[in-house]
Amino acid sequence: MRIVCQGGIEKMERVILHSDLNNFYASVECLYNPEIRDKPVVVGGDVEARHGIILAKNYIAKKFGITTGEAVWQAKQKCRDLVVVRPNFSRYLKFSQLARDIYSSYTDQIESFGLDECWLDITASTKLFGSGKRVADEIRDRIKFEMGVTASVGVSFNKIFAKLGSDMKKPDATTEITKDNFKEVVWKLPVQELLYVGRSTHKKLNKYGIKTIGDLANTNVKYLQYWLGKWGFTLWTFANGLDDSAVSNVGATSLIKSIGNSTTTPRDLVNDEDVKITIYVLAESIAARLRKHEFLSKTVQIYIRDNELCSFGRQGKLEIPTSNSDMIASKALQLFRDNYKWDKPIRSIGVRACDLVLTLNPQMSFMPDIAKAQKTDSLERAIDDIRGRFGHYAIQRGLMLNDTGLSNLNPKDDHVIFPVSYFK
């Protein structure tokens, strides 16, 4: 379809796809282990180490009422034969990149939404590859044949409705939402199905009798702005199909936006020394991954949760970009000490390196701080090599020997965060 703009210039209607790899983590694990393919499978943490949260599930597990985010012990009460697999984020990152390689055959406008979801703008590619639905079906077939997993793809004229389409039929399906049918298809859906309507917003909307996306679309926008502020207007535009946000170009920014680790410790942390050991364990893992991907971090974030499950997060800028574990840990410790008063013991800690920049060919510097950081980086790369050959515990900091129970965490919850255009 072509749209005539002001001045008589023709503009093609956008064709946006949203591809969602079905039950991504669980599907990848079943692919690597054929023996569990026909069993109820979840990807989650170690119950005994207090990491017992469901991160993903397959469709068989879903039939037992198992939900993402619930405790593993609760899921096992619903299904005695449940298979629990530890997450392997490096494996998921590899498959995420394989999917992006397929998408890049059709467009360079690819925007990640987590590891398993991407938007694609194929407007300029339709003359070459055919309609949005045809491309979506071809992508699904390629993902199934080349990767061994399945995907659901939404096709629409904007990102919000493309995302809705990918959620409507699972697994391995294409759903098309057009300007002609969106009121019939979308407006009858529960309002919480609309992207970025979180739990709090959902409660507020229900309070005012807004139950469906159609109710939201037909509510006076002035009331929504009064109830929800600027976000009320944004949600109103989404519901009415007026989202015009662009799909990011794959080369515009780095694919990986942050690298982090978090851990629920085997015992509660009760003093600064406990926290220091844990933060250094996390920082070493993060720094090694930064160096592996050739990134420097400009910002450090921390996440703290106490033993009563109250939590908070803080972040701070580094003086110079780094992949050095000492600098990351020092900033994390500073953020912790400035913001925690030890009212309660600590149950879990997360550290994340953010605002990443590439450093494929770093220049040598004679500035004292930078030169020192570069020397330390070379030392840590040497440590990476030793650990790669002889194992992680072949070389350790003396600090780690103060409490081997904490220092032997060897955190598995490493994760890579991809860019999104909006935040709940």
Question: Which residues form the catalytic set?
Answer: 117
Contact 354, 300 (CB under 8 A): yes
Q: Mention every residue, 6+ apart, whose C-beta is less than 8 A from residue 305.
A: 311, 346, 347, 348, 349
**Would you call 322 helix, strand, or coil by DSSP?**
strand
Instruction: Quote the CA–CA distance of 265 and 355 in Å, as a whole number.
Output: 27
Measuring CA to CA, which residue among 353, 258, 355, 339 is closest to residue 304? 339
Which residues, listed in sequence order, are joined to residue 296 by a DSSP beta bridge? Answer: 357
Beta pairing class for 41-44 and 83-85: parallel
Residues in the chain: 424
Contact 417, 260 (CB under 8 A): yes
Q: How far apart are the first and last CA of the chain?
A: 33
Could you write out the DSSP letters of every residue in 182-205? HHHHHTTSBGGGSTT--HHHHHHH
Measuring CA to CA, which residue among 175, 263, 183, 192 is closest to residue 217? 183
3-state helix, strand, coil in the chain (%, to 5): 45, 25, 35
The arrangement of strands across the sheet holding 295-306 comes to 311-322, 295-306, 346-358, 258-269, 415-417
Measuring CA to CA, which residue among 47, 33, 18 is closest to residue 162? 18
